[in-house]
Amino acid sequence: MKINIDLLRELEQSIDIFHPEKGKIPIKMLGFGEISLVFKILDDSEHLAYKRIPIFDNEHQVKRHIWAYREYNKLLKERVGLNLPDYDVAWFKDQEGKIQFYCVQKKINSDSVGNRVIHVLKNDEIKTLVLLVMRELKKVWGFSKKNSVIDLGLDGQISNFAIINYDPNNPKVNLDTKLYYLDTSTPMIRVNGIEAMEAVLFLKSAPSFLRWLLKALFLEETVGRYYEWRKVTIDLIANFFKEQRPELIPSLIRLVNKFFREEAPEFEIEPITFEEVQKYYKSDKNIWVIFQSVRKFDRYLKTKVFKKKYDFYLPEKIKR
């Protein structure tokens, strides 16, 4: 994979964090999460997707993270058997000595990503897609179940999966469809119960004065839940509220419960209820709304009051 570090340096020097697409190096945003910003560089013949993660204070931290990232990707690909786009990382110290870090992946067709396709597929095909996602998840939890040392976590949201060989002109999903898993930048590996990644990094983008509070309130719950298949599944389904397809939720709950019963009985997972999904969705929504508004305030303080640089891109109102 050919990554042009000089171009990234130039990009960092000129990035307009309020309007990332208007900087000197032309980029197009492919997606953004609560912390990261995923973009492509226009006219990039390598067709790469860059995920910018501005959370590292020192070399030790970034190196440890890269180690965990590579381990995680390798395990998911070689031992678990998920399909991942080709990947790499890039990092450097910018002019001010600050660490800039990117996860880099082969760019896949944006139309093929789960949260897009659920707006064009037929309802039956969406159900098939969720079934296929459940089969990918079973590989992950099957691995952890067999392995007495390593536990893997995964973020099963529909926006983290994409359809391989997707044809936007003829969108289709059937039981033979293969999926990519995209969201590997937060390495969730526990070795004998100990987190390989510094979990605290996850909250690095929250303002410092509130970090301890968020940590106490949410960190165990937010990171821990990605290791539990049942919770990850609730998260996957609750996502359909956010993606504005709530009418599908009852049938998806029936589908995953049937899946647990028939395809994964050895995991002894209790059936999921609608009330649970709804309650979860409301509390999750609150966590992120608080998180984002606190960050907006922090950005205001840093840029307007203290005239300092702000590292993060903050999405405009995310529809939830």
Ligand X SMILES: Nc1ncnc2c1ncn2[C@@H]1O[C@H](COP(=O)(O)OP(=O)(O)O)[C@@H](O)[C@H]1O
Contact footprint for ligand X (CB under 6 A)? 30-31, 33, 36, 38, 49, 51, 85, 105, 107-108, 110, 113, 159-160, 182-183, 185
Tell me, residue by residue from 158 to 187, as one string, x for binding to Mg ion by CB under 5 A and - for no binding. Answer: --x----------------------x----
Nearer to ligand X, 38 or 255 (CB): 38
CB of 226 to ligand X, least distance (A): 11
* Cα gap 87→70, rounded to integer Å: 9
156 binds, among ligand X, Mg ion, none (CB under 5 to 8 A by kind): none
Report, in Å, the least distance between residue 268 CB and ligand X: 30
Helix (H, G, I), strand (E, B) or coil at 301: helix
Length of the chain: 320
Smallest distance from ligand X to CB 49, Å: 3
- DSSP per-residue letters across 7-30: HHHHHHHH--SSSGGGSSS-EEEE
CB of 156 or CB of 259, closer to Mg ion: 156
Give Cβ neighbours of residue 167 (< 8 Å, ≥ 6 apart).
Answer: none
Q: How far apart are the first and last CA of the chain?
A: 36
**From ligand X, Mg ion, none, which one binds at residue 112 (CB under 5 to 8 Å depending on kind)?**
none
Work out what residue 30 binds among Mg ion, ligand X, none; the CB cut-off runs from 5 to 8 Å by kind. ligand X
Angle subtended at Cα 29 by Cα 69 and Cα 112, rounded to the nearest 5 degrees: 75
Nearby residues of 174 by Cβ (< 8 Å), 6 or more positions away = 125, 128
Of the candidates 73, 77, 155, 157, the residue with the CA atom closest to the CA atom of residue 116: 157
85 contacts which partner out of Mg ion, ligand X, none, CB within 5 to 8 A by kind? ligand X
Of residues 182 through 211, those in contact with Mg ion by CB under 5 A are 183
Quote the least distance from Cβ 182 to Mg ion, whole Å: 7
Binding site for Mg ion (CB under 5 A): 160, 183
